[in-house]
Structure 1
Amino acid sequence: MDSPHGAAVKAENFGLKGPRGWAFRGVGLDAEPGALIAVEGPSGSGRTCLLLALTGRMKATEGHAEIAGHRLPKHLTAVRRIAALGPVTGVNELDQSLTVAEQLREGALLQRRYEGPVRALLRPRGERRAGTQARIDAALTAAGLDLAQLPKGPRTSVRDLERLEAVRLSVAIALLGSPRLLALDDLDLKLSDAERAAAWTLLRSIAARGTTVLAVCSDAPDDVTVLHTGAAEPAAHTEDIEDSEDTKGADDALAEAGRA
């Protein structure tokens, strides 16, 4: 797996208003490529909507942002091509009915589909298979997930993973496409203090390798760039905004993220 050059993330007076009010408003940010950015705030304060807007999955209604020079809200498709989603509830979740190996293969197949069918067909089947496995192995290493340590190895059911293991699996699948921006929702949800520290160590290592990382959390470490969200007005619900004409729905978000 290639080490991608991270995306610079900039925003000025960035806001999104839905049927029930402002999801977020007045967001400003200027982060260099390879930065680790935390979106911090209480549940219901628009954190997830901001995450999805900055990755091109929702269309902002005020101000603008730039992701690797692609201006939002105008260039949503261009941003979606370079930004990958980790776990986002209701949008980009792991399939609990699959094994870990099946989830990885499905993610790799979907990613290969977006690389271009003509280019893929020109490569011998054995070469494609070896290339896919190499990318999976590299992504697992980067995500810190050792399949041999799971109860049933790669045959472990996704539903049987511990929370931190599931986060690592989601990150590995997201990294298969060598994104310039990696975004994760609810990073510290249901994690112990030790697990939370391990999760942030993981994200620091990914950022250090060149990928810009954006993570929603309740309490960010002191050494990361922090975007604070609040709920001065009633926050718009994610599902309300996704179903509007101005944004893509959950299924499209999955496809554009290159995730299963």
Structure 2
Amino acid sequence: MDSPHGAAVKAEDFGVKGPRGWVFRGVGIDAAPGSLIAVEGPSGSGRTCLLLALTGRMKPTEGHAEIGRHRLPKKMAAVRRIAALGPVPGVNDLDQALTVAEQLREGALLQRRYDGPVRALLRPRGERRASTAARIDAALDAAGLDVAALPKGPRTSVRDLERLESVRLSVAIALLGSPRLLAVDDLDLKLSGAERAEAWDLLRSLAARGTTVLAVCSEAPSDATVLRTGPEAAADPPAEPVTDPAEGSAVVPRPMNSKVTWGAESTTPHDSDGNTGTSTDTGADTSTDADADVTAAAHDSHDTKGDDDALAEAGRA
């Protein structure tokens, strides 16, 4: 598989408001291509909404973002073409009735149908099959999933996979389209400590290949650029924030090739563990059950002229 050039992720005063209030707001980030970005926070703090908004699946209410030079909210469809979703519960769940081989073939067919070049459909059937098989093998290798080692090999049912195996399978399907940005929700859900380490190693390897990776988690690694959501992120004061007089916001030191700024209306930031990755409080409304607003807020995004249905596109990513 060719290593895609990752997409830079930038945002300024980025926010989404749902029927019950602000899901998140005041998000600012400047992450270089090939960055590993972690959205850290408790369940219900707007993590998934932020992931969907940055991948063009949910229309922002205020501010703007730029994903690989495609500006949101105007270019949501363009962002969806370069940003693929790994596992996102409730949006693109694996089909438990299929085998691993069937799920992979379905993913390859959908990618070719909706995202592949038209000329690829005109190739001889044998050539198309060989190309599809090669792409699947490369994606499985990048995701670290050894299908032959599964209990029944490629005929193993998706429902019989372990949690980490399911994550790897979802990531492999997302990689079939060689995305510039890969987004993964609830990365550390139901994983042991050793499995979490394996999952983060997987995402690091993808970032090292050039793909920008955005992952939602409850606890981010120290080497990631971190966006924190929820009131817990503002419990402690920052060590030594630098104040930007022009914006009236605090800016924490820049890690590697990335910079994350604090929204002007956010509570004072902090890096509670002294991590090398930077962090920001998205200023989520504590009275809002953010993740419960995913569907409702996504529904509000449908008034963007020329955009396809956001969640339908998410299922094809």
Secondary structure in 1 matching 2:39: strand
Secondary structure in 2 matching 1:190: coil
* 2:298 alignment partner in structure 1: 242
1:253 aligns with 2:314: yes
Between 1:112-121 and 1:175-184, the stretch displaced more is: 112-121
Q: Residues 142 and 206 of structure 2 are in contact (CA less than 8 Å); yes or no, is this contact kept in structure 1?
A: yes
The 1-side partners of 2:18 and 2:109 are apart by: 35
TM-score (norm 2): 0.78
User: Out of 214, 232, 236, which is 2:285 matched to?
Assistant: 232
> In terms of Rg, which structure is larger?
2
Structure 1 unaligned blocks of 5 or more: none
1:111 aligns with 2:172: no
* 1:147 alignment partner in structure 2: 147
Displacement, 1:217?
A: 0.1
Displacement, 1:145?
A: 0.1
The 2-side partners of 1:42 and 1:117 are apart by: 40
* 1:79 alignment partner in structure 2: 79
Q: Residues 23 and 285 of structure 2 are in contact (CA less than 8 Å); yes or no, is this contact kept in structure 1?
A: no
Q: Residues 87 and 93 of structure 2 are in contact (CA less than 8 Å); yes or no, is this contact kept in structure 1?
A: yes
TM-score (norm 1): 0.95
* 2:176 alignment partner in structure 1: 176
Amino acid of the residue matched to residue 239 of structure 1? Answer: T
Aligned length in residues: 256
Secondary structure in 1 matching 2:315: helix
The 2-side partners of 1:251 and 1:122 are apart by: 26
1:42-191 equivalent positions in 2, closer than 5 A: 42-116=42-116, 118-191=118-191
Q: Residues 24 and 235 of structure 1 are in contact (CA less than 8 Å); yes or no, is this contact kept in structure 2?
A: no
The 1-side partners of 2:72 and 2:117 are apart by: 29
- C-alpha spacing 1:223/1:108, structure 2 compared with 1 (3 Å): same
Amino acid of the residue matched to residue 224 of structure 1? Answer: A
The 1-side partners of 2:89 and 2:296 are apart by: 14
CA-atom RMSD in angstroms: 1.3
* 2:207 alignment partner in structure 1: 207
Amino acid of the residue matched to residue 22 of structure 1? Answer: W
Structure 2 unaligned blocks of 5 or more: 231-283
Displacement, 1:123?
A: 1.2
The 2-side partners of 1:191 and 1:246 are apart by: 38
Secondary structure in 2 matching 1:214: strand
Q: Residues 34 and 212 of structure 2 are in contact (CA less than 8 Å); yes or no, is this contact kept in structure 1?
A: yes
The 1-side partners of 2:294 and 2:51 are apart by: 11
The 1-side partners of 2:157 and 2:228 are apart by: 36
CA shift digits 1:34-72 (9 cap, x unpaired): 000000000000000000000000000010000001101
Amino acid of the residue matched to residue 76 of structure 2? Answer: L
Secondary structure in 1 matching 2:223: coil
Displacement, 1:121?
A: 3.2
- C-alpha spacing 1:51/1:61, structure 2 compared with 1 (3 Å): same
Displacement, 1:249?
A: 4.7
The 2-side partners of 1:126 and 1:204 are apart by: 35
Secondary structure in 2 matching 1:57: coil
Secondary structure in 1 matching 2:207: helix
Q: Residues 38 and 220 of structure 1 are in contact (CA less than 8 Å); yes or no, is this contact kept in structure 2?
A: yes
* 1:33 alignment partner in structure 2: 33
Q: Residues 84 and 181 of structure 1 are in contact (CA less than 8 Å); yes or no, is this contact kept in structure 2?
A: yes
